[in-house]
Structure 1
């Protein structure tokens, strides 16, 4: 095993034994980091498994995760390609977990995240304990308040340590973005994905992504870069992305449509009706689009990502949007479908003054297709509470059997 001293310089200066990862103290982390740059691929893979499990177990991050970030960011530049992309994935997870999925189809709302953590860490929180301790006359009550204050001072909220990890990766972003020019496509794609997580760095990263996309030859990487440009760009990015709507590669067209959906709804960008129609049509074709599996946004559920983008475009052409959503819903992952169905109903229907919608046959075609697709997407399972509430609020039957009867015209 050969250690790259520049990658691990300072490793022994970190007090690992006083830090914790998910399971225990972090004494083993430096050994795993050394193993990560082994010439032996089995050793590297074993180290990756340990690092993922201990530094990012089920989305949890810890002080050891934070301390490991600079070393991981340096190691990624020197390990073989087969390992490099996996280390990048670990850095993406340490930076944002699955937080980016919760923000789609928009970009990560870092100002809100920072404001929340600032509120959690407000010094006045401890000052209030100090006031209560000073006012306490009962010794037992004073001791209890003192212990609570100490626990409050030592406690790190998960959202706080996650933001610290996010910023630690952000500090390494300039060196990591050099991997946009890596020889292997997986590394280039994951580097673009990582860049998409940092809207605060858009002024630096967008020009680099624009340069890279013009020379990229791998469709899945081009598509990833286009989605990143959509999440980071402004109105000036639109002309660069729009041309890719005409690509012969379906995955690239999908990515361009996804990027434009965000740009035309979240920036001052304007596009003509024909372009909006093409965006909607392309997103609606997502279930039939090949190679989407090679693009990793939204945990790989890109049909679900399409639905999110389509719903954001409802103000442009509600009927076309609902038809496209209906085409996608049965192919959305079970995990995301529960989240998507209530807002889809909300976008399509508003509460009726009579407390119920007109007969199914009187609904516009897009609304009809949405309800038919909803029944297909849910299958034989019962509607969950959120979907039932949304259906009821919109004056629609709130059980599967009743909605089936409504759609079939027997109600």
Structure 2
């Protein structure tokens, strides 16, 4: 341990980690991993992060140990070793919100609904039911199991994922005042990360929104500025549309896309009419981004620009030219950058290849441009499981249905 970071871990050993749990039962290993984050061994630090991601944030699930780790991760993010700060920030973000939680990249987070749903399944509400199950159990093995579950709930746990995730969300909410210093950090990536995190805390908006709008106006890093503008759009009210609209004329296309996305969200609130002129301009910017995507992207929608545009347009209020909207959606259809559940991919296959290909199958060069784009994106996709989950649809249409055959199909045209 490097002595200069010891102060960040004050209270770490006072937590009853043995009484807490994570994905692999007892959380006794968590303090060791957190302590390793402040050490000088890069390989050990990376392994500690991997262990924390897989234990206190296991495939999106949060546990009783998850919120207990949050204060220490927040301290490391603010003042820990340079090599650990960004990863700690990202873990904090994942502990706060994840793809399973009640938030949407185009409309914001529904904290009120989340709290109401979670309240129905808190330990106090569930304990009487577990008491009943224990009282009714007569078989010794079943009674022992019922006793263990009843004691676990009595200790302040709930099997409901919304409830357990909300505990971590609230733990991060409590740390936001101290994390605000990151908005002025010298590291642009940390500024971007805290900006993205703030977008999902409407209960903190009175404090964060002025900081986010100022950051959007003055930030030099385009990704950070665009992230701030989108965050302001997610947290703001319809009256903010007039403040967002000028960014549609920004020099940077990433900022114009962010302004268009934010403006459509604000217009969708329905609190006040939004000038149809800027809305039409917003659609035009989304169309331009779909046709000519930029390399720099934000963390929203897992960095999948086309999926984000598609989802934004589905939330578009009436007014803009339907033909322009349809053209933009068509441009997004074959672009598969990140598709968490595979729904977009399977839908794109069905729409772009509505019938089986003739036999013998056409060459890649003979396909329509959109068809080529889809197969090219799949051939180069970073996750092989996405191809496997769509293999039956590809096979039914007489198309290559494995990564290897897709790559060979695409490369045959490139090398011809």
Alpha-carbon displacement from aligned partner over 1:135-158 (angstroms, at most 9, x marks no partner): x7xx83899689647625625222
One of 137, 140, 149 as aligned partner of 2:138: 140
Q: Which runs of 5+ in 2 are unaligned?
A: 349-367, 379-386, 399-416
Alpha-carbon displacement from aligned partner over 1:335-369 (angstroms, at most 9, x marks no partner): 2685458999xxxxxxxxxxxxxxxxxxxxxxxxx
Confirm whether residue 56 of structure 1 aligns to residue 60 of structure 2: no
TM-score normalised by length of structure 1:
0.76
CA distance in 2 between partners of 1:286 and 1:159 (Å): 35
SS in 2 for 1:210: helix
Name the stretch that deviates more: 228-237 or 373-382: 373-382
CA distance in 2 between partners of 1:5 and 1:179 (Å): 21
TM-score normalised by length of structure 2:
0.76
Which residue of structure 2 lines up, in the alignment, with residue 225 of structure 1?
Answer: 228
Which residue of structure 2 lines up, in the alignment, with residue 175 of structure 1?
Answer: 178
User: Could you say if the C-alpha distance between residues 122 and 175 of structure 1 is closer, same or farther in structure 2, counting changes exceeding 3 Å?
Assistant: closer
CA distance in 1 between partners of 2:280 and 2:330 (Å): 16
Which residue of structure 2 lines up, in the alignment, with residue 193 of structure 1?
Answer: 196
CA distance in 1 between partners of 2:202 and 2:143 (Å): 41
User: Could you say if the C-alpha distance between residues 98 and 209 of structure 1 is closer, same or farther in structure 2, counting changes exceeding 3 Å?
Assistant: same
Equivalences for 1:5-404 in 2 at 5 Å? 5-99=6-100, 103-121=104-122, 123=124, 125-127=126-128, 140=138, 148=146, 151-152=149-150, 154-155=152-153, 156-157=158-159, 158-287=161-290, 288-293=292-297, 295-313=298-316, 315-317=318-320, 318-333=322-337, 335=339, 338-340=342-344
User: Could you say if the C-alpha distance between residues 128 and 36 of structure 1 is closer, same or farther in structure 2, counting changes exceeding 3 Å?
Assistant: closer
Aligned CA-pair RMSD:
3.5
1:189, 1:224 within 8 Å by CA — same for their partners in 2?
Answer: yes
Name the stretch that deviates more: 48-57 or 8-17: 48-57
2:301, 2:308 within 8 Å by CA — same for their partners in 1?
Answer: yes
Q: Which runs of 5+ in 1 are unaligned?
A: 345-371, 388-398, 402-411
Instruction: Count how many residue pairs are aligned between Structure 1 and Structure 2.
Output: 360
SS in 1 for 2:271: coil
1:56, 1:94 within 8 Å by CA — same for their partners in 2?
Answer: yes
Alpha-carbon displacement from aligned partner over 1:61-82 (angstroms, at most 9, x marks no partner): 2222221111111111112444
CA distance in 2 between partners of 1:24 and 1:122 (Å): 18
User: Could you say if the C-alpha distance between residues 72 and 132 of structure 1 is closer, same or farther in structure 2, counting changes exceeding 3 Å?
Assistant: closer
2:238, 2:269 within 8 Å by CA — same for their partners in 1?
Answer: no
CA distance in 2 between partners of 1:129 and 1:141 (Å): 16
CA distance in 2 between partners of 1:47 and 1:126 (Å): 35
How far is the alpha carbon of 1:308 from its aligned partner?
0.4
